[in-house]
Structure 1
């Protein structure tokens, strides 16, 4: 297993999410003379290269858009993954539907093909078939997201009812999928979610299938907080290390 730390919330540096040094820390000189998509493309291109070389990568970052670099890196080495997206939010907003303008609410939609010219084309990221994406415990959906999901191939599940897509898997976990009462300090907390223990058990269950090729852990947290989030991330990483034969890269399959 290789831990890759991306200490950013979008294009803003955000340190302090991991207590122990990662195997690799991804940083980049982000250009000032371009828009946020251009800056993220520079950062995620570096991440994609690291993922393409890593043994069983676990990517840790401050937001969900980092998953674009994770999936692009797997594709660069010939892996065609499905994705299991744990998140309290849908992350299927678009520039046309968002009311906040927050692009951290768009990565799953981008992964399945929304406006590739924004960033996917720059990363060489190929769109995932909607039917190979599942969304777990998304309970805070804007009306436009709910409308899109009703007509899309993306399947939605509660944690306890999850059915996995076929093939190699990327497991993406936004820690706000956990009930907000258990993880104080998150930027976008949502009540009514599963417990920390239940999420961890489900992630371990997926890893036990032997089909996981990467894990993506995202936590948008308020600086000065995050102790519970760091503890969760450490627990997940230790769980992977316990049984490395259950978490393999595609080249090992």
Structure 2
């Protein structure tokens, strides 16, 4: 277990799952508002994920300003659905080495985790039995930063979309957010956006990319220039590395850039 404190600006929620697989070693801060651990019955992965996302939605709905630590990207469906209950309009800032813009029709792997942004923009309508009342986010309200590792069909889909693509650079992100206007922003970060050399144990390392320090600067710039109404860190390390000291240090630095102050109770052996 771990310890959490923020400066009062965030309500920390932890969803220790990768798709429908619980991650027992996922670091869960003490005093987190909630750790989402529903009992999922046996069944198809999308059905199990739907139940998990419903539980996450309930937690988000109770939080004034959610900061979510998760083991994957698709649980972002629950966060955005919860925010849409409060905000008529919502923009998305998505920092990721991948585009997460695959769909069941174009994916070569059928990996649901690679479809998360496509889910938010309404491109996977039949994937889940949706009880979240999630409304598609318009492409024009989405900023995708980095996305250096794309499948060919995914690249084509992004090219014909109206998603705004920028580099993972503070100035580029600030400019893109300014162009969105005064609209609440959901900030999503997959840790694999960081240079693979700085991410030992990552599930999907994507080689050379922006440094951890540069991503910290991106987060700080986003918070200074937009109304970040919720934030989400996809902590996509392999299960055996989820609670490594370096993994926790990375989470601590990223959340600090968002204005949160996390403290950790050191696990034995790390």
Using the size of structure 2 for normalisation, the TM-score is: 0.84
2:62: which partner in 1? 53
Aligned partners of 1:203, 1:222: CA distance in 2, in Å?
Answer: 24
Root mean square deviation of aligned Cα: 1.8
What residue number does 1:77 align with? Answer: 86
Q: Specify the alignment match of 2:268 in structure 1.
A: none
Q: Partner residue of 2:239?
A: 223
Which of 4, 16, 24 matches 2:34?
Answer: 24
Structure 1 residues without counterparts, runs of 5 or longer: 244-253
Q: Which has the higher strand share?
A: 2
Which one of 139, 152, 155 corresponds to residue 143 of structure 1?
152
- The verdict on how the C-alpha distance between 1:79 and 1:43 changes in structure 2, with shifts beyond 3 A counting, is farther
| Cα distance, 1:238 vs structure 2 | 3.6
Aligned partners of 1:175 and 1:229 also within 8 Å: no
Runs of 4 or more, structure 1, over 6 Å off, are: none
Q: Are 2:94 and 2:189, in contact at CA under 8 Å, matched by a contact in 1?
A: yes
CA contact (8 A) 1:10 1:40 kept: yes
Q: 1:126 aligns with which of 135, 159, 163?
A: 135
**How far 1:114 moved relative to its partner?**
1.2
1:233 to 244, 251, 256: 251
User: In structure 2, do the counterparts of structure 1 residues 236 and 35 end up closer, same or farther at CA, with 3 Å as the change threshold?
Assistant: same
- Asked if the contact 1:74–1:80 (Cα under 8 Å) also holds between the matched residues in 2, the reply is no
Offset at residue 240 of structure 1 (A): 3.9
Q: Cα offset for 1:117? A: 3.2
Name the CA shift for 1:85/1:29 in 2 (closer, same or farther; >3 Å).
same
TM-score by length of 1: 0.90
Q: Which is worse superposed, 160-169 or 147-156?
A: 160-169
